Structure 1
Amino acid sequence: MGFRSSIIKPFAHKIARDIRRWSARAVLEQEQIFKQLLATGKNTAFGKAHGFEQIRSYQDYIERVPIRDYEGIKPYIERIKAGESDVLWKGRPAYFAKTSGTTSGVKYIPISNQSIPNHFGSARNALFNYYAQTGNGQWLDGKVIFLSGSPELTETAGIPTGRLSGISNHMIPAWLRSSQMPSYETNCIEDWETKLDRIVEETLSQNMRLISGIPPWVQMYYERLIERSGKKTIKEIFPDFSVFVYGGVNYEPYRAKLEELTGGRIDSVETYPASEGFVAFQDSQNEPGLLLNAASGIFFEFVPAEEIFLENPTRLWLKDVQPGVNYALIINNNAGLWGYNLGDTVQFVSINPPRLIVSGRIKHFISAFGEHVIGKEVEEAMLQTCHEQGVKVVEFTVAPQVTPPEGGFPYHEWFVEFDGLPENLAAFSARLDELMIQQNIYYQDLIEGNILRPLVITPLQKDAFREYMKSQGKLGGQNKVPRLSNDRQIAEELTGLKLK
């Protein structure tokens, strides 16, 4: 055990004890946070406009505060940008997390002094909890890397502004900064491929012990390291590499390829951060799901996913949720987001303690014929098919083909980049379709009723998705390929990248 891991060990065990304590009383924690948020929020412009003074119960809150997306809070954000204080939260934001939206253009998400511990303490807690549970703290005694966006910040009305990952970079404590890779200068490079080459140069000779990032971009990092070094696996390059930290996408579709590149399975810690708040993290190496961050300044609401676009959907808080139900996730936090639709859907796999999985995105679905296929369904079907047939997939996305140019019934078109084509693509497609029928009863009805024909797989050439993301200016960083689209926009871009 090294010096740093020895010093931190008792603190890690304290963090783990705290997590066990509050997770056992998560509903009470949420109730207290709800009251605390209202007590502060009543003195803001938003609180006054929505009658926070008169709110005595969660039902009162529902009646006064509608669910909003970014467009709904944008007028308040504009008031903050114009210099006003006490708009959504007391004072002015400490930061704006700048992110892009599909309909809103650039979004400016407030981060307050009170919400900073949620954003930047939760990742630490997840890792220290992992240390306490497994005894593996040796990653603290070597180099760590966070593959993220640029840490450079600008100012918006005097408020430091940048990507969440960039803001996070400024919050890394001094004791960890000496171990952090890559260098600040390299991290500021905007072009992902140039940045990646520099990261490889800087880390190739280092004692890397923890690697963190979104799986598809970590895969690029691994491949470039292996290519540059002449080694066969990452474990040959970094013998002490022992923890992979990831978030943002489901790891399972990438696991086989990443473990092949790594040279075997290593421990992983999954996190669920968003610009709006750090929602959940993996608290156990043995139990499924991510622990809801129920004691960290966010009051969570849950709306049955099929009701999210209704004028008055059912709104539940943690006390009322059920396992296995697909919920749209709504947050209220100590930076001034009220009834904010995060855009994600989740399902609880455990109620006590509250653990969940991310099942998809509200806007990433296919329902061209009323089937409402979600991300979790396509990922599970693809994962099982690959496992059964010994096939590896690099990336995939699915879109409806409503008016096939070849004629005949419409279908779901799966654009798939294989790491080696299946020996029998027709058999692979047929099994994938069987599993989709098992996953989604509406899809089953459409297939059996001859409204849809079985799915069609369009194999793509090597690096097709990377080329697509590069063409969209979204290569690297925190960007992700949508699993599902209800239109043909992405499909049309990928059609030119078909396997010849």
Structure 2
Amino acid sequence: MKLKSFLAKPYAYAVQKKIRRNMANAVEDQSAILQQLLKNGKLTLFGKDHHMEDVKEYEEFRQAIPVRDYEGIRHYIDQIKSGTENVLWRGKPMYFAKTSGTTSGVKYIPISKDSISNHIDTAKYALLNYMAETGRPEFADGKMIFLSGSPTLERVGGIPTGRLSGIVNHFVPGYLRRNQMPSFETNCIEDWETKLHKIVTETSKQDMRLISGIPPWMQMYFDWLSEANEGKKIKELFPNLQVIVHGGVNFQPYRAKLMESLGGNVDTIETFPASEGFFAFQDSQKDEGLLLNTNSGIFFEFIPAAEIFSENPRRLTLKDVQLGENYALIVNSNAGLWGYNIGDTVKFLSLDPYRIVVTGRIKHFISAFGEHVIAEEVEYAMRIAAEKHGAHIIEFTVAPMIQTTDGSLPYHEWLVSFEQAPDDLTAFATTLDETLRQKNVYYDDLLRGAILQTLKVTPMHPHAFIEYMKSIGKLGGQNKVPRLSNDRVIADAMAPFKA
């Protein structure tokens, strides 16, 4: 054991104890955080607009603070950008995290001096907890790669602004800088393909121990790395590779192909970071789900997903949630977000401790005929079909085909890039359809009632999704292809990339 891993081990056990204390005190910690948020919030422009000085308890908070998305707070963000202080939180934000929105264009999410530790410490705690649980701190002695956005920042209204992953890059502690890859210069390259070529060159001969990134871009890195090294598996190139850290999308559709590319067993740590906060992380290699980050400056609310577009949806606190219910996640934070709908849905797998899975996006669903099919359902169906028929999936998306050219019934079209196609595509599609019918009673009713016909699978070129993302200027970084659409915009744009 080398010096870094030796020193990390006692620190890891101390962090694990802290995490376990937080598990036991989750509801109490949430109540304390709400009071602290109110204490600071009442001094802001937002707080005065919403009479926060009169708010003492959660019931009053729920009445005073409406649920909003980015469009609902844009006018406050514009005031911050124009130089006004004490708008959503005291002073000015330390950073703006710049992110793309489907309806709002570019979004500027504030990160305050109080909230930056949520992003930095949670990432650190996820790794240290893994060390303590497994007793394996060795990855600290080797190289680590973070497939992230550029750390180059611009200024918007005098506030440093960039991708969250680029901002976080500035907080890598000095003792890990020598372990970090790629180089700062390479990380600053904006063009993803140029950047990835450089990353492959820089890392091929290194002692890589940890790799972190969004699964589809991690897979692209593995493919290029293998191609540059005579087709070798990743574990042949990096025999000491210990752990993969992933987030951003559901890992299951990518797992089989990633593990095949690796050519050997590697531990995984799932995380749930976003520009609005680092919400949860995998705290156990044995238990399913992500531990909700209940003591890190964020007060969580949960709205049953079926009610999110209702005029008066139920808003629940942590103590009121139930197992198996699909909830829209609402955050209130010490970055100045209030009643903020981040657009993700979650489901609780455990209430002691509070562990969740991310089930999809509120705006990413298919309900062209009232079926309301969500990401969790299609990803489950794809996993079952792929396992049954020996298929390896690179990427897929699903869209409704409302008007057919031959006058037949409408259907769901699954656009799928295969690394290894099923022997029988028709049987594969049948399994997809049958599994989805089992998961979604509304979809089943529509087929039984002859409103829809069974789904159709359209094989795509292996690089179809890469080419599509390149065509819209969103290749690499933290960009993701929506799993579901309620229209044909993505499906039609991908037509040129059919196999």
Give TM-score scaled by structure 1 length: 0.99
Partner of 2:434: 434
After TM superposition, the structure 1 = structure 2 runs for residues 419-458 of structure 1, keeping only pairs within 5 Å, are 419-458=419-458
Partner of 1:206: 206
Tell me if structure 2 keeps the 8 A contact 1:231–1:237. Answer: no
Q: Whole-Å Cα distance in 1 between the matches of residues 253 and 316 of structure 2?
A: 31
What are the superposed Cα offsets for residues 273-323 of structure 1, whole Å, 9 maximum, x if unpaired? Answer: 000000100000000100000000000000011111112111001010001
Partner of 1:346: 346
Partner of 1:414: 414
State the AA in 2 paired with 1:25.
Answer: N
Partner of 2:273: 273
State the AA in 2 paired with 1:285.
Answer: Q
Partner of 2:388: 388
Partner of 1:333: 333
Does residue 295 of the first structure (1) align with residue 299 of the second (2)? no
Structure 1 SS opposite 2:228: helix
Does residue 40 of the first structure (1) align with residue 44 of the second (2)? no
Partner of 1:319: 319
Post-superposition offset of 1:347? 0.3
Q: Whole-Å Cα distance in 1 between the matches of residues 465 and 406 of structure 2?
A: 25
State the AA in 2 paired with 1:199.
Answer: I
Tell me if structure 1 keeps the 8 A contact 2:244–2:268. Answer: yes
Q: Whole-Å Cα distance in 2 between the matches of residues 406 and 364 of structure 1?
A: 28
Partner of 1:482: 482
Partner of 2:163: 163
Does residue 284 of the first structure (1) align with residue 284 of the second (2)? yes
Q: Whole-Å Cα distance in 1 between the matches of residues 461 and 71 of structure 2?
A: 38
State the AA in 2 paired with 1:372.
Answer: H
Tell me if structure 1 keeps the 8 A contact 2:46–2:87. Answer: yes
Q: Whole-Å Cα distance in 2 between the matches of residues 462 and 282 of structure 1?
A: 31
Identity %: 60
After TM superposition, the structure 1 = structure 2 runs for residues 56-135 of structure 1, keeping only pairs within 5 Å, are 56-135=56-135
Q: Whole-Å Cα distance in 2 between the matches of residues 231 and 467 of structure 1?
A: 23
Tell me if structure 1 keeps the 8 A contact 2:67–2:339. Answer: yes
Tell me if structure 2 keeps the 8 A contact 1:290–1:355. Answer: yes
Post-superposition offset of 1:209? 0.5
State the AA in 1 paired with 2:197.
Answer: D
State the AA in 2 paired with 1:420.
Answer: Q
Partner of 1:379: 379
Post-superposition offset of 1:59? 1.1
What are the superposed Cα offsets for residues 353-393 of structure 1, whole Å, 9 maximum, x if unpaired? Answer: 10000000000000001100000000000001111111111
Q: Whole-Å Cα distance in 2 between the matches of residues 275 and 30 of structure 1?
A: 20
Deviation >6 Å, runs of 4+? none
State the AA in 2 paired with 1:170.
Answer: H
Post-superposition offset of 1:231? 4.4
| CA root-mean-square deviation | 0.7
Count the aligned residue pairs.
499
Structure 2 SS opposite 1:271: strand
Post-superposition offset of 1:264? 2.1
Partner of 2:188: 188
What are the superposed Cα offsets for residues 195-238 of structure 1, whole Å, 9 maximum, x if unpaired? Answer: 00000111111111000000110111111111111142101101
Tell me if structure 2 keeps the 8 A contact 1:381–1:432. Answer: yes
Tell me if structure 1 keeps the 8 A contact 2:389–2:423. Answer: no
Post-superposition offset of 1:265? 2.4
Q: Whole-Å Cα distance in 2 between the matches of residues 425 and 160 of structure 1?
A: 50
Partner of 2:223: 223
Structure 2 SS opposite 1:342: strand
Deviates more, 1:228-237 or 1:241-250: 228-237
State the AA in 1 paired with 2:473.
Answer: G
Structure 1 SS opposite 2:309: coil
